[in-house]
Structure 1
Amino acid sequence: MEAVAEVGGSYAELSQTFRSRRTRSVAWRKAQLQAILKLLHDHEVQIFDALHQDLRKHPVESFRDEIGVVLKSANYSLSCVEKWMAPKKVPIPLLFFPSKGEVFPEPFGLVLIFSSWNFPISLSLEPLIGAISAGNTVILKPSDLAPACSSFLAKTIPLYLDSNAVKVIEGGMDIAEKLLQQKWDKIFFTGSPQVGRIVMSAAAKHLTPVTLELGGKCPTILDSLPNPSDIKVAAKRIAGGKWGPCNGQACIGIDYVLVEDRIASALIESLKKNINRFYGENVNNLENLSRIVNKQHFDRLRNLLDDPSVAASIVHGGSLDEKNLMIEPTILLNPPLDAEIMTEEIFGPLLPIITLNNIQESIEFLNSRPKPLAIYAFTKDETFKKQILTETSSGSVIFNDVMVQFVCDTLPFGGVGQSGFGRYHGKYSFDTFSHEKAVLQRSFFPELEPRYPPWNDFKMQFIRLAYRFDYFGLLLLLSGLKRTFA
């Protein structure tokens, strides 16, 4: 009952705050963004500690993937929010002369944000930045699978941000269900497709717009690169991208690699060298790697490897440390395509490498599977690049690197199909949490008589021409005025 009262009371307070209209001012929005920057500055060490408790993240990884991401985003929004919230003039057809048109951004109102456990700071504060930049009131529900970070956000955010407009509510599925029973103006969810369906179903009862940031099996395509040093760079970036951010527990993480059979061995050897260099060789003493989030996820990953046909495909790694929830970076060569490791999102440190006779086959391979959140492709072939862009569908395409799109504020981030829908980051976050209201202002003169009955052939022809040739329609209007005043 206490949790129910907290949800209801917080919802009522947010409603009252939004109706007061104070969140619409540029001063309020900038003050909240500055507060986020101060929060990060004042509590950097505490954030490092919380991330280490939840996921054993190294401070450098924590700053790169969590604090730095939010600092950059908040500063960018702070410098642009006044421009974003200003009405935008739009061209109006001559037939409407004299008139003017604008697009007026306004906040949705009451926003609910569900964040994820794998990047519990950045995936909480990044959408929050967009929501408050757009002038909304917000309830943030952090993931209970990252309890230290959830507790930190719940205790710290009220000390810095407007506590009548931004609230953090902790809890598990029971609290999430209570939150979803309320009528929100916008819901933003980051997590699994399974839970995303529950969120969308609840939102449908109130016709609430939803942004779903999900995941999917993000492939990497490695073309035959003519320069051996290019393959080494590609392998280095693949190793850093696969195991570096949260040990493969990332929605945009590399799920598997497609490569021609003739260069697979060179790729594997290069990956092994980078694994040993970056992370170490002993599962009991791995460095710079996050742990698996909990026992349930650890067992899920272990079950993927327990399949004998999958285990037989391991060419590197495969060791597990159940006590510390660590799994060694593992490479598999051509596991069965119908095995669970190739049909479900891995979300862990296991990397299947699938060989093809010709890299062109990768297009058909991707198109036979659900649309991924991202496609990574290492190639210098401009024709092949164009083919990937035009013949596949994904949330994003990144050539010759991995995962860096997430920190680019000028590009939209989001999925398509089963990998989610909606987009955010930078201006796209502001747009996601705003309604673009169309405003058309007209004069009382002149009056276009052919728009009114009684109908006749002249009015039919006039309307036909006006829709077909707007400028000609204006000339007819002016001609009619001349006759009227002659």
Structure 2
Amino acid sequence: MASQLAYTPVEEIPKIHAELLSTFKSGKTKPIAYRKEQLAQLIYMIKDNEDRFFETLKADLGRPNFESEMLDTSITMSEAKYAYDNVEKWAKPERTPWDFNWFAMKPTIRKEPKGVVLLISPFNFPLFLGLAHMAGAIAAGNTVVLKPSELTPATAQLLAELFPKYLDPECYRLVNGDVPVVSKLLELPWNHILYTGNGRVAKIVLTAAAKTLSPVTTELGGKSPVIIDPRCDMKLAARRILWGKFSNAGQLCVAPDYALVPRAAQDAFLDACQEVYKSFYPVDPSSSDSFSRIVSEAHTKRIKRYIDETKGKVVVGGQADVEKRYIAPTIVKDVPLDDSLMEDEIFGPVLPVVPVNDVDEAIEFINSKDHPLALYIFSQDSSFKAKVANNTESGSVIANDVDIHVGTTDLPFGGTGPSGSGYLTGKYSFDTFTHLRGTLDNPWWVDAILLKGRYPPYTAAKTRTVRKAIAVSMPPRPGQKLGKRWGLWIVFALVSAISAILMKRQRQ
């Protein structure tokens, strides 16, 4: 399959931005019916061309069709369909909780689109981390520019072909290219930017966005650790960890990056890993239809260097072929805390097993590093799980599985600190691209009853009246009980009755 990617001319980018801004101002994207129509088109764009996407994803990533369906096409359609089913409910104005001081003014939150949105997506899951997030922006009523990764040229070129056939080009555009294209995009003001990728590029994006005051959400990954309780089911832990680590050749932002195992339990864990490994790959993984390739030769060299320089011992795997972009699924034991494999996020199919004294040392090590995007715990002991969760920080904390939380309905997905900011998936994607616009409507009679005294001149009588209206109901001092304040309830009942009478009179 041809993988030549046609880049968008840099001089066209400001024109695209201006056209989408003009469309947004026209109000075209605001009707819920229109949003649902475009969400349906997005779903059918994938469904009608799923086999073609399987071909491009195999060309770009050497990925098995099973993984492409499970981890990219199906989950993307599911995300878009969830938005399609719920957008009407999500977009409804929302009344705030009842409050005596404000109920008459009907405080309401309007759910309004932010405007023109820029999505910069990565290479590892071109559909899920591009189109699924785009579904949230469409549901919120925005116009959108999607910039796929140039490292997956076959998929990016197919998207460029399909976008104008399925989606309204006045509202949704795809821009292809590398650094000059991204640089030009970042010169423009956006109503929201979503960048998914690594921390180094995120700093560039955030610096550029600051110049135009464009708000940014980042999804950045990091070294997501696994803590192993020596009393856990080792075979179950090994099966789930290796699945999460070796899927897509380890190129997942939430893949378990390394395993922290008590020294006395390391051999038991490794025995389980080797047994599972053989069941996953009964033949050489390099000739298996169940294992992906690394996206580029440069990334293959980077991962190979980690393996070549490790002070640990390779238990299985370790082979590399840079030209074929192949890194064997690899497990390394006795990895020291300062090893080459512990420098940066591996983003490849290599699992370092790091022996520690106990869970306390594991927690101390995790807390000495940047907060990870995910933290995984394998234990059947609720107190063990609570100890890890209560004494660490991470984007998500998951017990007894890996990776799957990204597709969990209504669970916020996002990092913290260097692993990212903001939340995505489901309603959280809708909220990310939505402006919550507060409104009040203050009726005439409020001045007559409650707030007439707020206007000058400020007299002593007015001060007493307003002070009563805005007085804070104080909590009891620590160690002191507060008696029941029946007087306030009587005042409340009287004011409510008078308000009801006045509102009735106003309607007449």
**TM-score bin, normalised by smaller chain:** over 0.9
1:372-429, Cα deviation, whole Å (9 max, x unpaired): 0000101111122222222211110111111110111210111001000011100001
Structure 2 partner of 1:306 = 308
Partners in 1 of 2:363 and 2:316 — Cα distance? 27
Q: What is the CA-CA distance between 1:96 and the residue it aligns to?
A: 3.0
Aligned AA (2:388): I
1:443-473, Cα deviation, whole Å (9 max, x unpaired): 0113113323333555555555523139949
Partners in 2 of 1:467 and 1:154 — Cα distance? 61
Which of 6, 13, 25 is matched with 2:31 structurally? 25
1:159-197, Cα deviation, whole Å (9 max, x unpaired): 001111000010001100011111111001100111111
- Map 1:34-73 onto structure 2 (within 5 A): 34-73=40-79
Partners in 2 of 1:359 and 1:67 — Cα distance? 38
Distance 1:456-1:63 versus aligned 2 partners, 3 A rule: same
Partners in 2 of 1:105 and 1:433 — Cα distance? 10
Partners in 1 of 2:339 and 2:99 — Cα distance? 58
Structure 1 partner of 2:186 = 180
Partners in 1 of 2:173 and 2:72 — Cα distance? 20
2:336–2:354 Cα contact (<8 Å) kept: no
Structure 2 partner of 1:171 = 177
Distance 1:380-1:160 versus aligned 2 partners, 3 A rule: same
1:397 alignment partner, SS class: strand
2:446 alignment partner, SS class: coil
Structure 2 partner of 1:475 = 491
Q: Percent identity?
A: 39
Residues 1:356 and 2:359 are matched in the alignment = no
Aligned AA (1:282): D
1:415 alignment partner, SS class: coil
1:360 alignment partner, SS class: helix
Structure 2 partner of 1:76 = 82
1:92–1:100 Cα contact (<8 Å) kept: no
Aligned AA (1:270): A
Which of 114, 117, 121 is matched with 2:120 structurally? 114
Which of 241, 250, 260 is matched with 2:244 structurally? 241
- Higher mean C-alpha deviation, range 208-217 or range 341-350: 341-350
Partners in 2 of 1:271 and 1:313 — Cα distance? 15
- Map 1:320-335 onto structure 2 (within 5 A): 320-335=320-335
Give the TM-score normalised by structure 2.
Answer: 0.89
Partners in 2 of 1:240 and 1:406 — Cα distance? 15
Q: What is the CA-CA distance between 1:477 and the residue it aligns to?
A: 12
Which of 198, 220, 232 is matched with 1:214 structurally? 220
- Map 1:377-388 onto structure 2 (within 5 A): 377-388=377-388
Structure 2 partner of 1:416 = 416
Give the TM-score normalised by structure 1.
Answer: 0.93
1:318–1:327 Cα contact (<8 Å) kept: yes
Aligned AA (2:399): F
Partners in 2 of 1:60 and 1:97 — Cα distance? 54
Structure 1 partner of 2:338 = 338
Partners in 2 of 1:66 and 1:11 — Cα distance? 28
Partners in 2 of 1:474 and 1:365 — Cα distance? 58
1:283–1:327 Cα contact (<8 Å) kept: no
Partners in 2 of 1:91 and 1:458 — Cα distance? 32
Distance 1:152-1:438 versus aligned 2 partners, 3 A rule: same
Distance 1:328-1:4 versus aligned 2 partners, 3 A rule: closer
1:98 alignment partner, SS class: helix
Partners in 2 of 1:25 and 1:99 — Cα distance? 27
1:280–1:287 Cα contact (<8 Å) kept: no
Partners in 2 of 1:446 and 1:88 — Cα distance? 22
Q: What is the CA-CA distance between 1:313 and the residue it aligns to?
A: 2.5
Aligned AA (1:241): G
Which of 258, 266, 269 is matched with 2:268 structurally? 266
1:462–1:476 Cα contact (<8 Å) kept: no
- Map 1:415-434 onto structure 2 (within 5 A): 415-434=415-434
Residue ranges of structure 2 left out of the alignment (5+ in a row) = 1-6, 475-486, 499-508
Residues 1:189 and 2:195 are matched in the alignment = yes
Distance 1:261-1:281 versus aligned 2 partners, 3 A rule: farther
Distance 1:473-1:182 versus aligned 2 partners, 3 A rule: farther
Partners in 2 of 1:272 and 1:287 — Cα distance? 20
Structure 1 partner of 2:257 = 255
1:299 alignment partner, SS class: helix
Partners in 1 of 2:455 and 2:316 — Cα distance? 78
Structure 2 partner of 1:99 = 105
1:131–1:430 Cα contact (<8 Å) kept: yes
1:248-302, Cα deviation, whole Å (9 max, x unpaired): 1111001000111122111112112222221345354244111011111011111
- Map 1:273-288 onto structure 2 (within 5 A): 273-280=275-282, 282=284, 284-288=286-290
- Map 1:142-153 onto structure 2 (within 5 A): 142-153=148-159
Which of 452, 455, 480 is matched with 2:455 structurally? 452
Partners in 2 of 1:111 and 1:328 — Cα distance? 39
1:308-356, Cα deviation, whole Å (9 max, x unpaired): xx15432222111223111111111232322332121111111111112
Partners in 1 of 2:60 and 2:251 — Cα distance? 13
Partners in 2 of 1:430 and 1:284 — Cα distance? 41
**Cα RMSD over matched residues?**
2.2
Distance 1:440-1:70 versus aligned 2 partners, 3 A rule: same
1:292–1:298 Cα contact (<8 Å) kept: yes
Partners in 1 of 2:244 and 2:20 — Cα distance? 39
Aligned AA (1:213): E
Partners in 1 of 2:250 and 2:380 — Cα distance? 26
Q: What is the CA-CA distance between 1:2 and the residue it aligns to?
A: 7.4
Q: What is the CA-CA distance between 1:478 and the residue it aligns to?
A: 6.7
Structure 2 partner of 1:366 = 366
Partners in 2 of 1:451 and 1:405 — Cα distance? 52
Partners in 2 of 1:374 and 1:2 — Cα distance? 35
1:181-230, Cα deviation, whole Å (9 max, x unpaired): 1111100110011111111111111111100010110001111226xxx2
